[in-house]
Amino acid sequence: MSAAAAVAVTLGLVALAPASSRGASLNQLQNQLGGQQARQQNLSASLASLSRTIDSLDSQISLVQSREAAVQTELAADRTKLTEVQKQLAAEKILLTKLINRLDLSRQRLARQLVSSYENGSPDLINVVLNAQGFSDLLDQVNFLARAERAQQTVISVTRTAKAQATAAARRLARLQHSVREVAEATALRARALAGMNALLQSKQSALSNARAAQQNALAASRAEAAQLRSKISSVEAEQAAAAARQAAAAAASAQQQATAEPTAPTGPALGPSGGWAIPYAIVLCESGGQDLPPNSAGASGYYQIIPSTWKLFGGSGPAAYLAPKSEQDAVATRIWNGGAGASNWVCAGIVGIH
């Protein structure tokens, strides 16, 4: 091995070491990015499920709101009814007071008549006839007795009527009081039901808002983390590309030095300018130094440093370029070069000034 070759090998090893280290870091970043993407999928699925729950809850909320409106209408009707019943109750109380007063008055008059009858005794018809002073006086006394009897019966009848009216008024009053209690209880029951409905609605809305906000925040955080990881991956990939370019340039320089130092006695499998290259030799020298190299960190291999995907795309056989004979590598490189139109497929084309 010449001194130039030793320098080239040393430069290649130096260039490969940081690339390997960055490769490991890149794998870690890609794994982290994959984890964030999986987390985003889970959060998106959870948000979709939450959206379905929201749709279902919306129908429940509409039902509760319609029921709330119905309860409000019933509550207003109950309050109106309660007001009317209370007015009737007040009127019945006034009427009952009047009837009780009338009954008391009738009872007092009846009591006075009974006392008077007891103290004076009941007049006997025979005594009235015998004591009458003529026929005219007899008629007057008989008429007086009849009027007294009718007055007494009238007082008794009025007393009975007043008692019956007072009793009926008391019963109506009791029914109204019972009705007031029923209306008040129904109103209180509807009010409690309305309060419960409102509490349920607010609780569901609050829980739904909190869950949605938490998941949206988590999804936003995951997306931000994924964006940072993509930025880091791009930075590492750029560093790797730069390192590969530096490695290729170092290999080309060492090959150039080797060719200059030992023009008549090349060693190893490297081929010189007359090796029948499919692309300009300067590019070959920059890419591989004219050697059938194994895959580098980017997967490129062979005389023309072709990556496996490009190798297969342009008809190469086998998994990698370096495993094929030079003639097949020449044919594939010719198709890629395409009369110079595909020069951009090689990084070294720009380095050596071929575009």
> DSSP character for 344?
G
22 touches 236 (CB < 8 A): yes
Structure-block tokens of residue 312: 């297969």
Q: Is the pTM of this model over 0.95?
A: no
* Number of Cβ atoms within 10 Å of the Cβ of 305: 28
Each residue's pLDDT tens digit, 296-341: 999 999 999 999 999 999 999 999 999 999 999 999 999 999 999 9
Yes or no: say if 250 and 285 are a contact pair by the CB < 8 Å rule. Answer: no
Contacts of 251 (CB under 8 A, 6+ apart): 8, 11, 12, 286, 287, 288, 289
Q: In this predicted structure, what is the pLDDT of residue 259?
A: 47
The predicted structure's pLDDT at residue 76: 87
228-263 burial, b at 16+ Cβ within 10 Å, e below that, comes to ebeebbeebeeebeebbbebbbbbbbbbbbbbeeee
Do residues 248 and 314 lie in contact, with contact meaning Cβ atoms separated by under 8 Å? no
What pLDDT sits at residue 223?
93
**Model pLDDT, residue 121:** 62
Which CATH architecture is the domain 36-232 placed in?
Orthogonal Bundle (1.10)
Q: Where are the domains of the chain?
A: 3-24+245-351, 36-232
Helix (H) or strand (E) run with residue 158 in it: helix 135-261
Q: Give the up-direction half-sphere exposure of residue 188: CA atoms within 13 A in the CB hemisphere.
A: 6
Question: Which parts of the chain sit beneath pLDDT 50?
Answer: 1-21, 259, 261-269
State residue 302 phi and psi, 5-degree precision: 85, -175
| CA 333 – CA 127 distance, rounded (Å) | 164
CATH class of 3-24+245-351: mainly alpha
